[in-house]
Amino acid sequence: MKLPGWTREPLVHFLVAGALVFAFFALRGNEVDPSSRVISVDREVQAQIALGFEQMMSRPPTDSELAGLVENYVHDEILYREAIRLGFDRDDAIVRRRLAQKMDMAASARAETEMPSENTLKAWYAEHSAKFAEETRYSFDQIWFSDESAAKAGLARLNSGTEPDKVGERISLPKSLEREDRDGVANTFGERFLEAIDRLKPVSAWQGPVASGLGWHLVRLRKLEPGRIPPFEAVRNDVENDWRSATIADRRAKAYQVLRDAYRVEIEQ
């Protein structure tokens, strides 16, 4: 059987070993050592319990509160151990699902803490550079009108040299935006306006009228800056986060595939 190179990764060995251990215990059952009939709530455990309380109330528990908390701890510990002793952890849908989840976690655990090399990240950046592009920025002036014919008349006046201040109707919208991104434009002027402005050319002349949900606008699109891709150093953190989440997903899928390939699944039709 010919295996691809990634199966040599320690992660995969770990997974397979884990599966074996799981299978072993699943067959044999978890035996609880008889000596575990002793529950010692030592100082350390008590300190942990007290700390839990303090985290909530920003003050330590009183002696009687602590005694109550310790009693609860003992209660749960006894039931837990008895449950294991009786083998209640087997043939349980939730235990089954939980363990499956843990296997998934084990497959990706290394990726959570792994320090990728600069070369790995640079390669990732080069391959997925579009993901790290800055947003498109719009710089424009706009004049608002409540209806289209007024806006057309307004454009004619602007073209014949009337000052922009003297044209248009009053509304509490910004007269201009500087280097605003798409969300920002949509937030203030709405989506219809955003679609319309994408059809305009970045020239110094007034254009339009364009419609928005608010009315009609004459627009002078002074500058349109398509989102550039910043140098690697500026987005290194984003690259690393992206690499990490992709790597986690990838390892889970591959680890599963290794295990899956070792099974013959028969689904009765």
Partner 1 sequence: MRRNLARWALAGGAAMLLAGCSALGGPDESQTGDGEGTIELAEFPDRPYWGDTHLHTNNSIDAFGFGVRLGPEDALKFASGEEVTSTTGVKAKLSRPLDFLVIADHSDGLGSTRRLYEAPRVAILAMNDETVLRWYDMMHESPEQSQRAIAELINAAANGTIPEALLNSQEEQDKATSEIWTTHLDTLDRYNKPGKFTALAGFEYTLMPDGNNLHRVVMFRDGSAKTKQVVPYPGLDSDVTGLWSYMEGYAKKTGGQVLAIPHNSNVSNGLMFQLTLADGSPMTADYAKRRAMHEPVVEATQIKGDSETHPFLSPNDEFAGFGIKGWELGNLPLTRKTTPDMFAGNYVREALKRGISLEQKLGVNPYAFGLIGSTDSHTALATGDEDNFFGKHTGNEPAIKDRALHSQNLGTTSGRFGWHYLAGGYAAAWARGNTRAEIFDAFKRREVYATTGPRMVLRVFGGFDFSAADWDGDWVRKGYTSGVPMGGELSDGGKAPSFLISALKDPDGANLDRVQVVKGWVDAAGNMHEQVYDVVWSDMDKRVKSGGKVPAVGDTVDRKTAKYTNTIGTAELRAAWTDPDYRAGQRAFYYVRVLEIPTPRWTLFDMVRFGIKLPKDALDDAVAQERAYSSPIWLKPTAS
- The contact set with partner 1 (CB under 8 A) reads 49, 52-53, 55-59, 69, 72-73, 75-76, 79-80, 82-83, 86, 88-89, 92-95, 97-98, 115, 134, 137, 146, 170-174, 177-181, 183-184, 186-193, 212-215, 230, 233-234, 236-237, 240-241, 244
Alpha-carbon Rg for the chain, nearest whole angstrom, is: 33
CA–CA distance, 214 with 212 (Å, rounded to integer)? 5
CB of 171 to partner 1, least distance (A): 5
Give the nearer residue to partner 1 in terms of CB position, either 224 or 258: 224
CB of 20 to partner 1, least distance (A): 22
Give the nearer residue to partner 1 in terms of CB position, either 12 or 248: 248
Question: What residue has token string 């709530």?
Answer: 41
Helices 236-261 and 10-28: crossing angle in degrees, nearest 10, is: 50
Give the nearer residue to partner 1 in terms of CB position, either 83 or 156: 83
CB of 167 to partner 1, least distance (A): 16
CA–CA distance, 217 with 95 (Å, rounded to integer)? 62
Give the nearer residue to partner 1 in terms of CB position, either 40 or 160: 40
CB of 19 to partner 1, least distance (A): 20
CB of 18 to partner 1, least distance (A): 19
Q: Residue 217 gets which letter from DSSP?
A: E
Instruction: Please say whether the beta carbons of 245 and 165 come within 8 A.
Output: no
E strand or H helix at 209? strand 207-212
Give the nearer residue to partner 1 in terms of CB position, either 4 or 226: 226
CB of 254 to partner 1, least distance (A): 22
The Cβ of residue 88 has, within 10 Å, a number of other Cβ atoms equal to: 12
Give the nearer residue to partner 1 in terms of CB position, either 16 or 173: 173
Question: What residue has token string 């985290």?
Answer: 55
The tokens for 96 are 């089954």
Nearest alpha carbon to residue 10 among 99, 110, 117? 110
